[in-house]
Structure 1
């Protein structure tokens, strides 16, 4: 992260890329140079959100970032749309050599990050099965 911060500061750019999707700025909020709060929930346009995240990843990758971290408070809504499937993560990243990491935050605390490079089996343990109490 330190190298990313140095590259960004040397390039003279703001750590938060300017978006062509201003409506999505309320869903993806920068909290640190390579860390974002992802506040998408039920009813969010996952296609537009994914395109926005891809543009963010592309911008940061161009300036040398190796990974981005997203703090997520409503993982269930994103999971229901297939956001965390390996197929969607591959589409989200395209051919970029950058890792997207996810922290799941709730009233109970934070689940350590999982990475866009993980398999669906790895992802499954973070989500309760339907009907389980």
Structure 2
């Protein structure tokens, strides 16, 4: 049996919109908080990655609340794959999610995404 979120297979989760109202500025200023080697992400780029038809979706193992979902998808605006963390606006999830965090996907996630996309 595959990974589930509130009784729904993560591969079947409806992810239709991402709201960055509370965390948009946070992802835009990653280099200020972390280092200049990091990548600042525009909310539109993160949304594009999260809505990518080839996206990878899974539970976020780093989630303290257990509510977060991690998505890896490609953003044309960013020109790269991004990792995007979201939590549902409603329970069970209906397609509307709060954006929590986003960053440039690491090499491992990028390879996984590229492999999945080419299958």
TM-score (norm 2): 0.26
Higher relative contact order (CA 8 A, sep 6+): 2
More strand by share: 2
TM-score (norm 1): 0.25
Look at both structures and tell me which one has the larger radius of gyration over its CA atoms: 1
More helix by share: 1
